[in-house]
Amino acid sequence: MYYIRLLIITLLITSCSATNETSTVSSSGLSPLEQSDSERSEYKKAILLLNKNQLDAAKDIFLQFKSTRPELAGPYANLAIIALKQDRPDKALELIKTSLTKNNKLPQALNLLAYLEQADGEIQSAEKHYLEAIKYDKNYALAHYNIALLYDIYLQDIDKAIPHYERYMKLINNTDKNTADWVEQLKRNKENG
Protein backbone atom coordinates (compact mmCIF):
# COMPACT_ATOMS: atom_id res chain seq x y z
CA MET A 1 0.00 0.00 0.00
CA TYR A 2 2.97 2.33 0.65
CA TYR A 3 4.03 1.93 -2.99
CA ILE A 4 0.56 2.91 -4.22
CA ARG A 5 0.45 5.93 -1.91
CA LEU A 6 3.91 7.07 -3.03
CA LEU A 7 2.95 6.64 -6.68
CA ILE A 8 -0.25 8.62 -6.19
CA ILE A 9 1.57 11.50 -4.51
CA THR A 10 4.37 11.49 -7.08
CA LEU A 11 1.95 11.52 -10.00
CA LEU A 12 -0.12 14.23 -8.38
CA ILE A 13 2.91 16.46 -8.01
CA THR A 14 3.96 15.79 -11.58
CA SER A 15 0.55 16.70 -12.89
CA CYS A 16 0.47 19.91 -10.85
CA SER A 17 3.80 20.93 -12.33
CA ALA A 18 3.06 20.49 -16.01
CA THR A 19 3.96 23.55 -18.03
CA ASN A 20 1.49 23.53 -20.90
CA GLU A 21 -1.12 26.26 -20.89
CA THR A 22 -3.99 24.12 -19.65
CA SER A 23 -1.98 22.76 -16.73
CA THR A 24 -0.64 26.18 -15.84
CA VAL A 25 -4.16 27.54 -15.57
CA SER A 26 -5.16 24.52 -13.49
CA SER A 27 -2.18 24.55 -11.20
CA SER A 28 -1.94 28.24 -10.33
CA GLY A 29 -5.46 29.42 -11.01
CA LEU A 30 -4.34 32.16 -13.40
CA SER A 31 -3.98 32.13 -17.13
CA PRO A 32 -0.49 32.95 -18.42
CA LEU A 33 -1.71 36.43 -19.38
CA GLU A 34 -2.72 37.18 -15.78
CA GLN A 35 0.69 36.27 -14.36
CA SER A 36 3.81 38.34 -14.39
CA ASP A 37 7.04 36.73 -15.54
CA SER A 38 8.36 36.82 -11.99
CA GLU A 39 5.22 35.08 -10.67
CA ARG A 40 5.48 32.33 -13.30
CA SER A 41 9.15 31.90 -12.53
CA GLU A 42 8.62 31.77 -8.78
CA TYR A 43 5.71 29.31 -9.09
CA LYS A 44 7.78 27.01 -11.32
CA LYS A 45 10.62 27.22 -8.82
CA ALA A 46 8.26 26.13 -6.02
CA ILE A 47 7.02 23.20 -8.13
CA LEU A 48 10.59 22.12 -8.86
CA LEU A 49 11.46 22.29 -5.17
CA LEU A 50 8.37 20.25 -4.34
CA ASN A 51 9.32 17.65 -6.97
CA LYS A 52 12.80 17.47 -5.43
CA ASN A 53 11.19 16.93 -2.01
CA GLN A 54 12.60 20.21 -0.70
CA LEU A 55 9.37 20.73 1.16
CA ASP A 56 10.30 23.64 3.43
CA ALA A 57 11.63 25.76 0.58
CA ALA A 58 8.61 24.97 -1.61
CA LYS A 59 6.26 25.65 1.29
CA ASP A 60 7.78 29.08 1.86
CA ILE A 61 7.10 30.08 -1.74
CA PHE A 62 3.55 28.72 -1.74
CA LEU A 63 2.87 30.51 1.55
CA GLN A 64 4.08 33.73 -0.05
CA PHE A 65 1.66 33.18 -2.95
CA LYS A 66 -1.07 32.47 -0.41
CA SER A 67 -0.39 35.86 1.19
CA THR A 68 0.07 37.95 -1.94
CA ARG A 69 -2.45 36.16 -4.19
CA PRO A 70 -5.07 34.69 -1.81
CA GLU A 71 -7.52 34.23 -4.69
CA LEU A 72 -5.37 31.46 -6.23
CA ALA A 73 -6.33 27.82 -5.71
CA GLY A 74 -3.04 26.25 -6.84
CA PRO A 75 -0.85 27.28 -3.89
CA TYR A 76 -3.37 25.78 -1.44
CA ALA A 77 -3.45 22.52 -3.41
CA ASN A 78 0.33 22.33 -3.43
CA LEU A 79 0.49 23.14 0.28
CA ALA A 80 -1.94 20.24 0.76
CA ILE A 81 0.48 17.95 -1.08
CA ILE A 82 3.26 19.11 1.23
CA ALA A 83 1.08 18.46 4.28
CA LEU A 84 0.29 14.98 2.99
CA LYS A 85 3.96 14.25 2.34
CA GLN A 86 4.62 15.36 5.92
CA ASP A 87 1.99 12.83 7.11
CA ARG A 88 -0.50 15.54 8.11
CA PRO A 89 -3.68 14.38 6.35
CA ASP A 90 -5.97 16.59 8.46
CA LYS A 91 -4.03 19.70 7.41
CA ALA A 92 -3.99 18.47 3.80
CA LEU A 93 -7.77 18.10 3.88
CA GLU A 94 -8.21 21.61 5.30
CA LEU A 95 -5.96 23.09 2.60
CA ILE A 96 -7.59 21.16 -0.22
CA LYS A 97 -11.03 22.32 0.87
CA THR A 98 -9.77 25.90 0.84
CA SER A 99 -8.32 25.35 -2.61
CA LEU A 100 -11.69 24.13 -3.85
CA THR A 101 -13.45 27.20 -2.45
CA LYS A 102 -11.14 29.24 -4.69
CA ASN A 103 -11.66 26.99 -7.75
CA ASN A 104 -14.11 24.11 -7.45
CA LYS A 105 -13.06 22.79 -10.86
CA LEU A 106 -9.34 22.32 -10.13
CA PRO A 107 -8.70 18.70 -11.15
CA GLN A 108 -5.63 18.25 -8.95
CA ALA A 109 -7.52 19.45 -5.87
CA LEU A 110 -10.51 17.22 -6.65
CA ASN A 111 -8.17 14.26 -7.13
CA LEU A 112 -6.40 14.90 -3.84
CA LEU A 113 -9.72 15.34 -2.02
CA ALA A 114 -10.87 12.00 -3.44
CA TYR A 115 -7.62 10.35 -2.36
CA LEU A 116 -8.05 11.66 1.20
CA GLU A 117 -11.68 10.55 1.25
CA GLN A 118 -10.71 7.11 -0.01
CA ALA A 119 -8.12 6.83 2.77
CA ASP A 120 -10.90 7.65 5.27
CA GLY A 121 -13.16 4.98 3.82
CA GLU A 122 -15.51 7.45 2.13
CA ILE A 123 -15.54 5.45 -1.08
CA GLN A 124 -18.68 6.88 -2.73
CA SER A 125 -17.54 10.45 -2.17
CA ALA A 126 -14.06 9.57 -3.46
CA GLU A 127 -15.57 8.08 -6.61
CA LYS A 128 -17.60 11.26 -7.17
CA HIS A 129 -14.55 13.51 -6.82
CA TYR A 130 -12.27 11.37 -9.02
CA LEU A 131 -14.95 11.50 -11.72
CA GLU A 132 -15.24 15.27 -11.32
CA ALA A 133 -11.47 15.63 -11.75
CA ILE A 134 -11.73 13.63 -14.98
CA LYS A 135 -14.72 15.71 -16.09
CA TYR A 136 -12.65 18.90 -15.83
CA ASP A 137 -9.54 17.33 -17.35
CA LYS A 138 -10.17 14.24 -19.45
CA ASN A 139 -6.41 13.84 -19.94
CA TYR A 140 -5.55 13.80 -16.24
CA ALA A 141 -3.73 10.47 -16.07
CA LEU A 142 -3.52 10.30 -12.31
CA ALA A 143 -7.26 10.69 -11.81
CA HIS A 144 -7.85 7.83 -14.27
CA TYR A 145 -5.34 5.69 -12.39
CA ASN A 146 -6.84 6.51 -9.01
CA ILE A 147 -10.43 5.80 -10.06
CA ALA A 148 -9.26 2.56 -11.67
CA LEU A 149 -7.71 1.53 -8.36
CA LEU A 150 -10.87 2.49 -6.51
CA TYR A 151 -13.03 0.42 -8.86
CA ASP A 152 -10.56 -2.46 -8.87
CA ILE A 153 -9.55 -2.75 -5.22
CA TYR A 154 -12.35 -1.15 -3.23
CA LEU A 155 -15.47 -1.69 -5.33
CA GLN A 156 -14.27 -4.77 -7.22
CA ASP A 157 -15.91 -3.52 -10.40
CA ILE A 158 -13.42 -4.65 -13.03
CA ASP A 159 -15.67 -3.56 -15.91
CA LYS A 160 -15.33 0.05 -14.72
CA ALA A 161 -11.67 -0.26 -13.71
CA ILE A 162 -10.23 -1.53 -17.00
CA PRO A 163 -11.18 1.48 -19.20
CA HIS A 164 -9.63 3.87 -16.69
CA TYR A 165 -6.45 1.79 -16.42
CA GLU A 166 -6.28 1.77 -20.23
CA ARG A 167 -6.82 5.52 -20.46
CA TYR A 168 -4.11 6.06 -17.85
CA MET A 169 -1.72 3.83 -19.81
CA LYS A 170 -2.45 5.70 -23.05
CA LEU A 171 -1.90 9.08 -21.40
CA ILE A 172 1.49 8.04 -20.02
CA ASN A 173 2.52 6.36 -23.28
CA ASN A 174 2.44 2.87 -21.75
CA THR A 175 5.47 3.49 -19.56
CA ASP A 176 4.05 1.72 -16.47
CA LYS A 177 4.84 -1.95 -17.08
CA ASN A 178 3.44 -3.11 -13.74
CA THR A 179 0.05 -1.57 -14.47
CA ALA A 180 0.08 -2.88 -18.03
CA ASP A 181 0.74 -6.39 -16.73
CA TRP A 182 -1.99 -6.00 -14.11
CA VAL A 183 -4.55 -4.88 -16.70
CA GLU A 184 -3.74 -7.86 -18.90
CA GLN A 185 -4.23 -10.14 -15.90
CA LEU A 186 -7.59 -8.50 -15.13
CA LYS A 187 -8.71 -8.99 -18.73
CA ARG A 188 -7.69 -12.67 -18.69
CA ASN A 189 -9.51 -13.22 -15.40
CA LYS A 190 -12.60 -11.53 -16.78
CA GLU A 191 -12.57 -13.70 -19.92
CA ASN A 192 -12.09 -16.87 -17.88
CA GLY A 193 -14.38 -16.02 -15.09
70 C-beta neighbours (distance < 10 Å), count? 11
How many Å apart are CA 27 and CA 17, to the nearest integer?
7
pLDDT band, very low/low/confident/very high, at 166 (cuts 50, 70, 90)? very high
Asked whether the predicted pLDDT for residue 7 surpasses 90, the reply is no
Helix orientation angle between 74-85 and 37-51, rounded to the nearest 10 degrees? 20
> What was the pLDDT predicted at 38?
87
pTM here is 0.81
CATH superfamily of the 2-192 domain: Tetratricopeptide repeat domain (1.25.40.10)
How many Å apart are CA 92 and CA 180, to the nearest integer?
31
Percent of the residues in the chain that have a pLDDT greater than 70, as a whole number: 82
How many Å apart are CA 55 and CA 78, to the nearest integer?
10
Q: What is the pLDDT of residues 74-104, one digit of tens each?
A: 999 999 999 999 999 999 999 999 999 999 9
Task: Map residue 61 onto helix, strand or coil.
Answer: helix
pLDDT band, very low/low/confident/very high, at 190 (cuts 50, 70, 90)? confident
